[in-house]
Structure 1
Amino acid sequence: MADEYDYDLFTIGAGSGGVRASRVAASHGARVAIAEEFRVGGTCVIRGCVPKKMLVYGAHFAEDIEDCQKFGWTIEKATFDWKTLRDNVLADVDRLNGLYTETLENHDVTIFHEKATLTGEHEITLASGKVVTAKHILIATGATPRRPDCPGNEHGITSNEAFHLDAVPKRILIAGGGYIANEFAGIFNEFGSQVTIINRTDTLLRSYDESLRDRLLQISMMKGIDFRFHAEFRGIEKNDDGSLTVSMTNHEDLEVDCVLFATGRTPHTKDLGLQEVGVELGEGGEILVDRFSKTNVDHIYAVGDCTDRVQLTPVAIREGQAFADTVFGPGDPVAVDHSCVASAVFSHPPIAAVGMTEGEARNKLGDIKVYQSDFRPMKNVLAGRNERSLFKMICDASSGKIVGIHMIAPEAPEMMQAAAIAVKAGLTKADFDATTAIHPTMAEELVLMR
């Protein structure tokens, strides 16, 4: 490697993508350092999908305790203690933070627990004033929650702070129509909050199939979640008793105890010195990269949510791996295929999808066939829960190739992982039809749709 520099690789940001890239680069023999101004692990591990999924698990017990009575169980005086769940979740976050740190240390990666800024060609300056040089620089700083620009926005919280609340709000307003808004709406609703979602349009989860979006809205309303569409903030005022009065367009004022902003995420690229060293950014502040994660500056790369690609943790990890193998590995350059990436929304019930929606397929392919199964899960039948699931398969009419699968059902993400392999591999409806079902399961509907 290049002895003229202090390091062969300097990574800014120790999230999922940055940690993977640094670890793999070190395993290829590179001298690696990484800087993280918050905690090792990044958004997903520290304040995102991992602690969020634990809250989702905790929320599911509310319905399980209610449903179990039809299965012969009696649970008297069941109570929920938010602080117990919160503290146990945060303790596990601490454990994961330690494991990620240990992984880096075991690969001899130097960790700087401070902010790092690009201050010259191949030069990084740390908050302590220390200046280091690196042959290659990787930006993996992720994204941060966006706050709406309205009077009183300082009274609201984001998903970052939601994991640290002192108590479950009796009344919570959640702003946004994406996956974060719908996930936290389901969580707090099960914990007993009166939940209101406001959204500036009338569309939830706009990247998902319309049938699933409509089904989630219907079920969420049945569960008692209130929706206010075409609503934008006018202002938030804090009252003497600590409550908040929210004024918005097209709707009456609303008094709540907590406002949670879930209105999207912005690439964390400010104050890093990127533009000063010539790195091109997009209109939203995202770092523009090529298929090998390289910026317009030859020695600077970027992976994960700070770029203009798919904002998902597994994608960031793949990008970090590909970068390290390309720049430091012995083989050919590796590019990540960003097509046909499966995803999930851990709402109540969850949504999972891979490939094109029905609308996208009609626009792109023209002639398609749509198969679906609209059913009531066996557990819901016995529990007396009037909640239906929906599976949908989109196929190219001429070839029978499956171009999309969409589900809203209990455990939909667990089923989708295997189904996504089949779609990515280009299998056909006939291949699914030729597969014997596992009965009785919800997953059997995947091979029984007509």
Structure 2
Amino acid sequence: MARTDPYAALRIKEFNIFLLVRFVLVFGWSMQFIVIEWEVYSLTKDPLYLGLIGLMEIIPAFTMALFAGHIVDQKEKRDLLALCIAAFSLMSLGLFLLTSDKIVGDWNTQSILYAIYALVFFGGFLRSFFGPTIFSLVALIVPKKIYPNAATWSTSTWKAAAVLGALLGGFSIHWMGVPKTLCLIFILVSISFGLTFLIKKKPILNPKIGEPVKESLKVGVRFVFSDKAILGALTLDMIAVLFGGTVALLSVFAQDILEVGSKGFGILNASISLGSIFSMFMTTYMPISRNAGKKLLATIFGFGLCIIAFGLSNSFWVSVVALFLSGATDGVSMVIRQTILQLKTPDDMRGRVSAVNSMFVGSSNELGAFESGLAAKLIGPVAAVIFGGTMTLITVTTIGAKNHTLRNLDLTKEIEAIEGK
């Protein structure tokens, strides 16, 4: 296939099935996240409890990440993904039951919160397996020469599902209430589970099946820390997400600052992912391999500026535009990072490398939610968002000045070598 073919990965039937599975799953997960945040803040009216949602998810996601990566490299990927989705459906069912008056009619607020946090904790455990499994499965479905294109479409599908899930999540709370919304989420996750079996089982490429866990984990961590391009990109993204995240506070802005209700809440959430989707689809036509390091630094710097603009805004539509642009810049950075990982990671180590990635970036989303909630409690939500954006700018400037390998990173030669140029 031609290097410039923007639809190269989509010409593979099984990859399209994979995208459908991922879309339905992330769509439901995104809706569920929105509903949980809305319900928790409605019960407490305290932003600190929103931060605790992130903390409850990051504890198992972070501590289990390396072990999950080891398991993924040792097991067949299709069945492992199906098992994870089946377990996630139980979490969705539990959340639905927690909002039913017939089940929790006599429960006090604290009991309901504890139960919600327990299920979120379980979801964090599952999260540690989802990332490495999906990352590894993509590489078994498409040829290596179209990894960059597959990474773009896979990430774009994830963001498209996130935007529509966030949008429908906010609207569905308004239209049919929390319980029915959570019931719909359970149905969507169940559909994703069924679709998974349309993907064929894949071979296990790890030549060291049965390798001791300790040694396996050492090899994976050593590989990531020995590659300055991978380590620099993950570190930059981790700190930017940690301080620049605003999603955890959007319910506060929607209800108390912008006063736009659940409908506006859905739009604010959706605007971030819409920006990401726009930029990701653009990268399928305009590859970002040349001067990838400089582009990564520039887009995350732009992301920080957008976060500050959102924090300063008192206008709903100005806030929407700021979040849209933050999503657009973040989308490019995600495509660059995923392309680096796909091109530089050996097939037999994808689970472990992706697990380290989830510790750096995935877990920083939840830790960032806790940081945002705590900062909002201490200095107020507006100041917390501006502080986060400012820290992002400082971080990008510092890493750009000190990490020459990342700043000068160019992926053109790697891509041409794979394609036999």
Shorter-normalised TM range = under 0.3
Give 1 or 2: higher strand fraction: 1
Give 1 or 2: higher helix fraction: 2
The one of the two structures with greater contact order (alpha-carbon pairs below 8 A, sep at least 6) is 2
Structure ID, larger Rg:
1
